[in-house]
Amino acid sequence: MYGGGQWGYRPVPTMPITYDVYVNVNPGPPPNRFHPPMNPSEQLLHYPLGDAMPAQGETLVVAAGDGSGLAPAVKWIRMALPFALDHINLWLLRDEDEDGRAGWTVVDCCITRDESKAQWEQVFATQLEGLPILRVIVTHMHPDHIGLAHWLCKRWDAPLWISATDFNAAHTASLSTSGFGGERAASFFAAHGLLDSDSITKVRGRATYYPSMVPEIPPSFRRLQDDDVLRIGGRAWRCVSGYGHAPEHMSLYCETLKVLISGDMLLPRISTNVSVYHIEPESDPLRLFLQSIDKFTRLPADTLTLPSHGKPFLGLHERVRQLHEHHRERLAEVEQACARAPQSAADILPVLFKRKLDLHQTTFAMGESVAHLHALWFAGRLRRRRDGDGVYRFAPGSGCVDRS
């Protein structure tokens, strides 16, 4: 399928998908947290930069440009996160404004906390080549991507570019509770079988989870839509919309550079979180996610993919195949469990996740469990009923196939 390209990539034979990475961490601590061993699926991808990664407060050039615009075209920033998923990749794109003023476009921002601001200050002091930030692009509304957008936009008097759906979702979540915690989230998880009183109490107490990392959203924005083309540094970058992970995620593709900034839609080592939340309790996000990533198969096979987590890689067509296979296997396991006895989302946690989960992971895992059950329910392969204890359980039979 792959014909190679500027990075000299060649495919290797495919093999079964056997890893378990639903909650954005791999099972067990790796021997080396910066260079963990590759799982079987990773070995089918190619990392043209090897183990090279930017040091804290520094950058690494990942696209030097080819004479069609400003150079270096893209710089990689790697910022720390205080979670099991312990980093996020951010991107600096060399740019100029409509008046010809040189500067940078930032793609994604990190969460709001003093340590993140300090890392940005190092970048400002040493990596911008004396040039300003001209605009801030956010791929989607999750805290590690939009958390410091307000701070960056204010500091540099730069506009925010984001999809309208994610702007409004972020604005609402920053002012109230979101799908990550609070009374309604606790009730939603309880209705799907999470009845442990300690867990429910902790979920109920996380009403400020999102605002704690995204305390403010810029007051205005420029809308990004699917197939929009942005001129950044003299090059065309096309928006590619994605659904299932966030309300309206935007990836960016530059044909000239053969570079895709995939955000969270395509990650090399871990599977993207795809969850049902209480704010849209009857949704079918897994179907939307799998349909969305198929868009990437239209891009050249030797496209360099810049993910939000993990290392830049080649092999996006193979990665899309892996993710489809991964979810097919998990759906089959869920369906088999439901055939043995009616299952709630909490019941199938050990089916999908083979390790002990902390509360942070359990909330994501519950959302993913519901997403897999809903995929089968909407496809007509499972039926759903709410039992006398108030818990939804799924069993074989004709499901909810009405998408009107």
pLDDT value of position 363: 86
- Alpha-carbon distance of 300 to 9, in angstroms, equals 12
pLDDT band at 87 (very low <50, low <70, confident <90, very high): very high
- Alpha-carbon distance of 272 to 270, in angstroms, equals 6
pLDDT band at 132 (very low <50, low <70, confident <90, very high): very high
DSSP state of 49: T
Tell me the per-residue pLDDT of 211-224, one tens digit each, with 9 for 90 and over.
999 999 999 999 99
Question: Does a structural domain hold residue 123?
Answer: yes
CA 162 from centroid of its chain's CA atoms? 15
Of 154, 146, 152, the closest CA to residue 174 belongs to 146
- The answer to whether residue 247 scores a pLDDT higher than 90 is yes
The residue segments making up the domain with residue 97 are 42-315
pLDDT band at 381 (very low <50, low <70, confident <90, very high): very high
- Alpha-carbon distance of 94 to 229, in angstroms, equals 16
DSSP state of 341: S
| CATH number for 182 | 3.60.15.10
pLDDT value of position 33: 46
- Alpha-carbon distance of 103 to 95, in angstroms, equals 5
Of 83, 152, 118, the closest CA to residue 161 belongs to 152
Residues 249-277 have a mean pLDDT of 96
Question: Does a structural domain hold residue 26?
Answer: no
pLDDT band at 360 (very low <50, low <70, confident <90, very high): confident
Q: What is the mean pLDDT of the chain?
A: 89
Give the number of other Cβ atoms within 10 Å of residue 225's Cβ: 12
The dihedral built from the CA positions of residue 301, 306, 312 and 317, taken in this order, carries a sign that is negative
Question: Does a structural domain hold residue 375?
Answer: no
- Alpha-carbon distance of 56 to 34, in angstroms, equals 13
Question: Does a structural domain hold residue 224?
Answer: yes
| Range scoring the smallest mean pLDDT among 84-88, 264-268, 290-294, 359-363 | 359-363
3-state secondary structure of 174: helix
Question: Does a structural domain hold residue 17?
Answer: no
Tell me the per-residue pLDDT of 12-63, one tens digit each, with 9 for 90 and over.
333 332 222 333 333 333 334 445 666 777 788 999 999 999 999 999 999 9
Number of structural domains found in the chain: 1
Residues 102-123 have a mean pLDDT of 98
Of 373, 375, 393, the closest CA to residue 384 belongs to 393
Give the number of other Cβ atoms within 10 Å of residue 361's Cβ: 19
* pTM (2 d.p.): 0.90
Inter-residue contact 289 to 126 (CB < 8 Å):
no
- Alpha-carbon distance of 293 to 379, in angstroms, equals 19
Tell me the per-residue pLDDT of 196-213, one tens digit each, with 9 for 90 and over.
999 899 899 888 989 999
Question: Does a structural domain hold residue 218?
Answer: yes
Inter-residue contact 295 to 250 (CB < 8 Å):
no
Of 49, 27, 118, the closest CA to residue 80 belongs to 118
Question: Does a structural domain hold residue 285?
Answer: yes
DSSP state of 54: P
62 in the Ramachandran plot: left (φ > 0), alpha (ψ -120 to 50) or beta? alpha
- Alpha-carbon distance of 155 to 158, in angstroms, equals 8
Question: Does a structural domain hold residue 238?
Answer: yes
DSSP one-letter string for 192-220: TT---HHHHHHHHTTTTHHHHH-----S-
- The answer to whether residue 179 scores a pLDDT higher than 80 is no
- The answer to whether residue 125 scores a pLDDT higher than 50 is yes
CA atoms within 13 A on the CB side of 150: 18
